[in-house]
Amino acid sequence: MDLREALATSLANLAGHKLRSALSMLGVVFGVGAVIAMLSIGAGAERQALEMIERLGVRNVLLRAKTFEREEAAEEVRQKSPGLSLRDCEAILDAVPGVELVAPKVEIDPFLVLAGAEKGRARLYGVAARHDELVNLRIAEGRFLDQRDVLDHAQVAVIGAEVRRSLFGHQPALGADIKVDDVWLTVVGVLAGGDGEAASFEGVSLQSSAAAVYVPVTTALSKFERDRLASPLQEIVVRLEPGMQGAASTVVAGTIDRLVSQLHGGADDYELVVPEALLEQSRRTQRLFNLVMGSIASISLLVGGIGITNIMLASVLERTREIGVRRAVGARRSDILGQFLVESFAISALGGLAGIAVGLGIARGIAAAAGWPTVVTAWSILLATGVAMVAGLVSGIYPAKRAADLDPIESLRYE
């Protein structure tokens, strides 16, 4: 019997016992589906992590001002430290080796923005020139802020796509004037849509740029009122020189931390964020998640393998007389062995194909219901189905060997 004939015979036998065959496949179906779904969630989480790190900047080190719920606590801290300030930026740039660029950022609560008869809500950010390079903002129209804008305290602004849409619609925005609080600003640039959606990564919140208005940091500090107890800057972005990654970035981050702590009199009024370290932490968490989910999926495949072994043993018992007839007319032990191995492989293969559909359905269901990103890769499908087929073959070895070892004379007498 050749392979094609063995496969046809196996499929015919499975079709003759549809319910039993389907039940024996369930373990493989759920095992393959679980593996594909698990790996799709992991791949989606990794892609999201990489996108977040790209926004934070893999070569960046972030200093973020802490907020205090009680006014008394803020008063006590401000007696020691004024908070993050432009002085910190100058000190870091002058004293810390390996630093390429230091950019301050002021964040002000949402304002009512007016443009003619139209109005909308936006969050105001005071930033330095080249801030767009640090956080990967893309310009759709005009330009971003430059160093001249910062030095001149210029009343210019770069607006997000949502702000542009709500204030100007299809009308031109470049060169138009908008009013934020009591300050008039001229629009010099518009950000591309979809840049920097609001998100959170490893406890670090990232605001959306779509509903943002960016002005020079000097303009934000001098022309807009802010809480007297608030830190002058909400964030300082420090970009390291090329090659300063891994252990080197950790050393530089430690140096920055010690310097700023001294400047603030030891006050605990800021936090240090190293995106590269966050990425490694995310990967460790993901590896643990994959290990746990992989173990669960392996149990499902083990159960599926036991089910295949069970049905194949039952099949050997039912077809004992058939085996005796085949041996009597010249079939070799290897022919019998191959026939039952092909049959067990067919069960696992069909279960694997059904498991692919289940896995795709679970991945899409999770993405739709929970809003989690999922990415189904060809590698995950090949891995899941490959393991299932190997499990099917291994599970069929004992029943196939038992069938091949049957005595032909005793088999012919079996009723």
Could you list the pLDDT tens digit for every one of the 415 residues in the chain?
566 776 777 777 777 777 777 777 777 888 888 888 888 887 777 777 666 666 666 677 888 888 877 777 878 888 888 888 888 888 988 888 888 888 898 888 767 788 876 777 788 899 988 888 877 788 989 999 999 999 999 999 999 888 888 888 888 889 999 888 888 999 999 998 765 554 454 445 556 778 889 999 999 888 888 777 788 888 888 888 876 666 677 788 888 888 988 888 888 888 887 776 666 666 677 777 777 776 776 777 777 777 777 777 777 777 677 777 777 777 777 777 777 778 777 888 888 888 888 888 888 887 777 667 787 878 778 877 787 777 777 777 777 777 777 666 665 665 5
In the prediction, which pLDDT does 214 show?
93
**Residues paired with residue 64 on neighbouring β-strands, in sequence order:** 235, 271
Instruction: Report the C-alpha dihedral over residues 391, 393, 398, 402, rounded to 10 degrees.
Output: 160
Place of tokens 């069909």: 350
Q: What are phi and psi of 192, to 5 degrees?
A: -70, 145
Handedness of CA 315, 318, 320, 326 (dihedral sign): negative
**What span, in angstroms and rounded, lies between the C-alpha atoms of 145 and 344?**
67
Q: Is 214 helix (H, G, I), strand (E, B) or coil?
A: strand
Helix (H) or strand (E) segment spanning residue 381: helix 378-404
DSSP 8-state symbol, 234: S
Q: In 152-274, which residue ranges form alpha helices assigned H by DSSP?
A: 161-168, 217-223, 247-263
What pLDDT, on the 0 to 100 scale, is given for residue 202?
A: 46
Token pair recorded at residue 1: 């019997």
pLDDT, residue 86, reads: 87
Contact 389, 348 (CB under 8 A): yes
d(CA 227, CA 108): 10
CA distances from 206 to 64, 150, 299, 363, 372 (A): 12, 24, 39, 26, 17
User: Rounded to 5, what percent of the chain is helix, strand, coil?
Assistant: 60, 20, 25
Compute the distance between CA of residue 338 and CA of residue 356 in angstroms, rounded to an integer.
26
Could you identify the residue written with the tokens 């640039």? 189
